[in-house]
Structure 1
């Protein structure tokens, strides 16, 4: 399927220029005529028009892994951001507290319309206390810039769990449950118009399903039976390992932007 000039530019900036040129069939636009990085993209991407069988929100599966552990002291009780950050910093509700360097509550615009949720901090995040740093973080930033967003404006970024699992393994269900109250409170404080679930671990925990990414992408889900839409895309770390999948991430971002615009228009 041919790609548009914008899509080819997106792929080029994300490091798959040869693939973009081959798929486009007509060659990339002249380098002097296009921005070399996503930071200078001025045009908003065209909304992704989903097939008819994907336009209606899918019914969410029963939530399991992200069920809140109500035995966690202070879970979901903070009334403001300082209180919530302090609770996360002092949390000892699961074994991850014994191996962490820093807690990683999140970063960004606390009145954001987009809430980006990944799986868990890695080594760089554990050291810095900030989510999505290093190569994966830079790629995520480039993806967000493609739709006119950044960490300081319009986006808040966090994870399912706030402490690094040893050896960067996936968070266990009890660890996700221990942190679920904090994520709930973040959602309540931010009041986002859209959740972008980044990676299958985040999607599985948020939606309570074990379906593969091929079944989760391209659909609009709802968070826990509410009207808050959830769109699923690949984790940047996966895209670094599988660069040819970056084209699909463009479709996901366009779908998310389309959903966001419709929701914003409805609430205007």
Structure 2
């Protein structure tokens, strides 16, 4: 199955605006988001430009708490980044997602940049939030053991990040709005990392990046190709979903199934000629 990011900034803003409308929440003039006004030429992009005439990260993050505006800004900021350093700075400066206000740090990445394997988890935990690195604490320790069992180590041959870079308060699940605001950044992160294979750790990551409503039980059994970027002719990379280590800590009976999933991933990347 071939999967690729599907939303333009305008389409994403429209989808989020419609979601808010269905929820009964007050939103500004939706006619400006729904395709724009042919007489005035207003679109989601021109709305943002009229509010923020100088489209630099420092100005884009100001006053961006309205979800439609923040979502368009997230897409524009992420798309403009041409390096990991630029992406981190843009993400760390972005104020459109309220999760950031309660987090200690922006959890960006760990491991070796340029590695062939990219590991993407759901959300940071307490230890991750304190250190600014993903997959720490007991869950991170278990993941390290899982990856090590197939020859993957963060210090040498894999690169790690999260779908959501800020720890949700009380370790609650992130909302649909929060996920939508973080998604442009992780999509760009994948594009810049250009991995040859992606291990998606957790159902939330798989559902979000693969545009799927399937649960982890179904996702982990699928063979997937993730398209890097919006170009239909662009490169694709192999993707596989596995149980999150936090889930396995609570349900150790599933560790045997997780081991089978990891062996399948190792066999696949070996057959692809990916050296680890």
TM-score, normalisation: structure 1: 0.71
2:259 aligned residue: 250
Within-5 A mapping of 1:75-86: 75-86=78-89
Which aligned pairs between 1:77-156 and structure 2 lie closer than 5 A? Answer: 77-156=80-159
Provide the secondary structure at the position in 2 that maps to 1:71: helix
Q: Which runs of 5+ in 2 are unaligned?
A: 13-70
Asked if the contact 1:109/1:151 (under 8 Å) is kept, the reply is yes
What do the CA deviations read for 1:203-253 (whole angstroms, capped 9, x no partner)? 111111121222111221122476312101100011111111111111111
Q: Which residue of the partner structure matches residue 27 of structure 2?
A: none
Counterpart in the other structure of 1:230: 239
Match of 1:171 among 171, 174, 178: 174
Structure 1 Cα separation of the partners of residues 85 and 256 of structure 2:
39
For 2:2 and 2:133, locate their aligned partners in 1 and report how far apart those are by CA, in whole Å. 33
Alpha-carbon RMSD: 2.4
Q: Deviations over 1:143-186 (max 9, x none)?
A: 11111111111111111111111111222222222222221222
- Counterpart for residue 12 of structure 1: none
State the number of aligned residues.
208
Q: Deviations over 1:13-70 (max 9, x none)?
A: xxxxxxxxxxxxxxxxxxxxxxxxxxxxxxxxxxxxxxxxxxxxx3549968xx8643
Q: 1:177-203 CA deviation, whole Å, 9 max, x = no partner?
A: 222222122212211111111111111
Partner of 1:71: 73
Q: Which structure has more RCO (C-alpha within 8 Å, separation ≥ 6)?
A: 1
User: Can you give the 5+ residue segments of structure 1 that lack an aligned partner in the other structure?
Assistant: 1-57
Q: Are 1:160 and 2:163 an aligned pair?
A: yes
Q: Distance in 2 between matches of 1:61 and 1:251?
A: 26
| 1:218 pairs with one of 216, 221, 241 | 221
